[in-house]
């Protein structure tokens, strides 16, 4: 499409003005920030938790199991509500500096999303760790590697390869779940669409456009993960390809 | 021991609404999944194209956006349709879109796409020898599908259906956002009115937990029954 055609279309259009497109853009920035941060923090905590979850001692693995069970067994919306409405009820919090942070809806939402994705990621990594071929661990032991080195050099890298497929699903799932941030007054992509819908009473324009935005984000993620998977599993490619 | 401040009956009604919503959506999702899988495995290019577009579209868009689109857009669409019918045929037709119906349609459509993938994989896991044998006995295509493929496919589909059901159950919470008075909605209103968020949300969370834990047990039992005649490799 030539640019002047787009300009002409935008000139005649009442809904997709430069202003509403900026609203969508700001919403997209918020969505990407929220999802990116919660995934990174979730992943950082999920790796040690997954290792703890594989420990034989039930007093170590039990609490981690309980955490993942609770967060995977309840809807994210409830977790968000509990944290968003609940934080203000903690006695004395309104006098501390935490209140400056948690007064904004962004941080309670980030906390809820992080706890949720961390629970799912822990289970994904745990599944990958426990399916490590026994021979690999035996070989590492035979080489005289201690537990730490075995984890770092053998178990975790091979678990990462097995986990990447399931983790890419979790990332996309999180992107889609982040739409509920709009319920606690955050103006993310969905929040922007809801604002624009209520201003123009034009459900199709507002929501189909935002659906396309999410679809573009999803396909970028799918593409990136496919590249990553090819990179991680390149030793398994058939010879000659 | 647990004072629900008179919101108890409303919460219970909400829980019933949640369960109804989940079961109706599951039924719709299973039907759509079967149709989708049959379309994906058919020889017709058009059917494959439609089914692939359907599953790709659904997997690219968040559940909440779909729900808002169907709820707000559905009513506008129905109004446009009824205007058109009135102008051309002079028939008075009106249909009120409510949150429950849009919830069932949206969740059914979303999980129909996931079920399509589940059923497709399960159909592919049925041995071709079984299908060939059925054809050799003179079974028609439909007959083979109904008598040979579906019964044998179900065993492979069961774990996938179970996973989808667990996710579906939690997705029903979203319908409270478009105004359905389910458990979550009641808890939200109560929590706001009484300023006691933990007091109302935590019991609701435990109801969800009980539902998912109960279905886990049921699915395990079903799985055991479906695999009775199969030697399990351990």
Give a yes or no: residue B181 inside a domain: yes
pTM confidence score: 0.87
Would you give the distance in Å from CA B231 to the centre of its chain?
31
Could you tell me if A139 and A155 are in contact, meaning their C-beta atoms sit under 8 angstroms apart? no
Give a yes or no: residue B26 inside a domain: no
* pLDDT confidence tier of residue B234, bands split at 50, 70 and 90: low
B3 pLDDT more than 70: no
Q: What is the ipTM of this complex?
A: 0.85
Q: Closest by alpha carbon to B51, among B1, B119, B99?
A: B119
d(CA B22, CA B26): 6
Looking at residue A39, its pLDDT comes to: 94
Q: Which residue has the higher pLDDT, B224 or A9?
A: B224
DSSP string, B7-67: -HHHHHHHHHHHHHHHHHHHHHHHHHHHHHHHHHTSS-HHHHHHHHHHHHHHHHS-HHHHH
Q: Closest by alpha carbon to A176, among A221, A126, A125?
A: A221
Looking at residue B233, its pLDDT comes to: 59
Average pLDDT, chain B: 86
A240 pLDDT more than 70: no
Give a yes or no: residue B25 inside a domain: no
DSSP for residue A183:
G
Q: At the fourth CATH level, which superfamily is domain A3-231? A: MetI-like (1.10.3720.10)
Name the strand (E) or helix (H) holding A172.
Answer: helix A156-177
User: Chain A contact for B22, CB < 8 A?
Assistant: no
Q: Closest by alpha carbon to B160, among B20, B39, B29, B25?
A: B29
Q: What are phi and psi of A155, to 5 degrees?
A: -70, -50
User: Chain B contact for A31, CB < 8 A?
Assistant: no
Only one residue has tokens 């981690």, namely A64
Name the strand (E) or helix (H) holding A93.
Answer: none
A114 pLDDT more than 70: yes
Could you tell me if B166 and B212 are in contact, meaning their C-beta atoms sit under 8 angstroms apart? yes
A1 pLDDT more than 70: no
Give a yes or no: residue B71 inside a domain: no
* pLDDT confidence tier of residue B100, bands split at 50, 70 and 90: confident
Task: Provide the domain count of chain B.
Answer: 1
The CATH number of the domain holding residue B213 is 1.10.3720.10
Contact criterion met (CB < 8 Å) for B184 and A215:
no
If you average pLDDT over residues A137-142, what whole number do you get?
A: 91
Looking at residue B78, its pLDDT comes to: 82
DSSP for residue A154:
I
Looking at residue B2, its pLDDT comes to: 64
pLDDT digits (tens, 9 = 90+) for A51-95: 999 888 889 889 999 999 999 999 999 999 998 888 877 777 777
pLDDT digits (tens, 9 = 90+) for A16-36: 777 888 888 889 999 999 999
If you average pLDDT over residues B124-146, what whole number do you get?
A: 87
Spell B20-53 as b/e; 16+ CB within 10 A means b: ebbebbbebbbebbbbbbbbbbeeeeebeeebee
Direct distance between the N- and C-terminal alpha carbons of chain B, in angstroms, rounded to an integer: 46
B28 pLDDT more than 90: yes
Q: Which residues from chain B sit within 8 angstroms of residue A179, using beta carbons?
A: 62-65
Range of the domain at B188: 101-225
What share of chain B in percent tops pLDDT 70? 96
B25 pLDDT more than 90: yes
Q: Which residues from chain B sit within 8 angstroms of residue A197, using beta carbons?
A: 68, 72
Contact criterion met (CB < 8 Å) for A70 and B208:
no
Question: How many Å is the maximal CA-CA distance in chain A?
Answer: 74
Looking at residue A95, its pLDDT comes to: 74
- From the number of C-beta atoms within 10 Å of its C-beta (0-12, 13-18, 19+), residue A57 rates as exposed
B224 pLDDT more than 70: yes
Q: Closest by alpha carbon to B35, among B45, B21, B50?
A: B50
Looking at residue B1, its pLDDT comes to: 44
Looking at residue B226, its pLDDT comes to: 81
Picking from B69, B176, B198, the nearest residue to A207 by CB comes out as B69
Looking at residue B76, its pLDDT comes to: 83
Looking at residue A116, its pLDDT comes to: 94
User: Chain A contact for B174, CB < 8 A?
Assistant: yes
User: Chain B contact for A66, CB < 8 A?
Assistant: no
If you average pLDDT over residues B182-208, what whole number do you get?
A: 84
pLDDT digits (tens, 9 = 90+) for B199-218: 888 888 998 999 999 998 99
If you average pLDDT over residues B26-51, what whole number do you get?
A: 91
A9 pLDDT more than 80: no
B86 pLDDT more than 90: no
Could you tell me if A222 and A173 are in contact, meaning their C-beta atoms sit under 8 angstroms apart? no
If one counts every other C-beta atom within 10 angstroms of the C-beta of residue B156, the result is 17
Could you tell me if A111 and B217 are in contact, meaning their C-beta atoms sit under 8 angstroms apart? no
Instruction: Looking at the complex, report in whole angstroms how far the Cα of residue A207 sits from the nearest Cα belonging to chain B.
Output: 6
Give a yes or no: residue B8 inside a domain: no
Q: Which residue has the higher pLDDT, A143 or A101?
A: A143
């Amino acid at each position: 499409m030539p640019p002047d055609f787009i300009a002409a279309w935008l000139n005649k259009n009442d809904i997709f003005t430069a202003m509403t497109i900026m609203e969508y853009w700001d919403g997209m920035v918020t969505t990407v920030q929220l999802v990116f941060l919660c995934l990174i923090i979730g992943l950082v905590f999920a790796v040690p938790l997954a290792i703890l979850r594989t420990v034989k001692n039930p007093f170590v693995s039990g609490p981690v199991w309980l955490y993942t069970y609770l967060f995977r067994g309840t809807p994210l919306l409830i977790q968000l509500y509990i944290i968003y409405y609940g934080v203000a009820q903690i006695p004395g919090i309104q006098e501390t500096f935490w209140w400056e942070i948690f007064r904004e809806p962004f941080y309670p939402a980030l906390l809820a999303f992080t706890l949720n994705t961390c629970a799912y990621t822990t289970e994904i990594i745990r599944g990958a760790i426990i399916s490590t071929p026994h021979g690999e661990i035996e070989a590492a032991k035979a080489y005289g590697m201690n537990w730490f080195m075995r984890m770092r050099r053998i178990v975790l890298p091979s678990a990462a390869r097995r986990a990447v497929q399931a983790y890419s699903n979790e990332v996309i799932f999180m992107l889609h779940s982040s739409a509920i941030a709009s319920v606690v007054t955050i103006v993310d992509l969905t929040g922007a669409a809801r604002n624009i819908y209520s201003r123009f009473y034009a459900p199709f324009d507002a929501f189909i456009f935002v659906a396309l935005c999410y679809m573009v984000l999803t396909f970028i993620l799918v593409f990136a993960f496919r590249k990553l998977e090819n990179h991680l599993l390149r030793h398994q490619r058939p010879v000659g390809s | 021991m647990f004072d629900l401040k008179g919101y108890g009956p409303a919460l219970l009604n909400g829980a019933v609404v949640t369960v109804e919503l989940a079961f109706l959506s599951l039924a719709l999702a299973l039907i759509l999944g079967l149709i989708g899988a049959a379309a994906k495995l058919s020889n017709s290019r058009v059917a494959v194209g439609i089914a692939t577009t359907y599953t790709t579209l659904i997997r690219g868009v968040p559940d909440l956006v779909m729900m808002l689109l169907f709820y707000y857009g559905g009513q506008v669409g129905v109004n446009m349709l009824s205007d058109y019918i009135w102008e051309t045929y002079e028939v008075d037709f009106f249909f009120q879109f409510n949150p429950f119906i849009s919830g069932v349609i949206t969740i059914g459509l979303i999980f129909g796409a996931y079920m399509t993938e589940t059923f497709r994989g399960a159909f592919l896991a049925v041995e071709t020898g079984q299908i060939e044998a059925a054809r050799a006995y003179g079974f028609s295509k439909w007959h083979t599908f109904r008598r040979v493929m579906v019964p044998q496919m179900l065993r492979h589909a069961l774990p996938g259906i179970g996973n989808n059901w667990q996710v579906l159950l939690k997705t029903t919470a979203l319908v409270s956002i478009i105004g359905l008075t389910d458990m979550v909605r009641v808890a939200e209103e109560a929590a706001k009115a009484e300023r006691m968020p933990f007091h109302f949300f935590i019991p609701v969370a435990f109801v969800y937990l009980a539902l998912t834990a109960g279905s886990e047990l049921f699915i395990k039992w079903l799985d055991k029954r479906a695999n009775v005649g199969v030697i399990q490799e351990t």
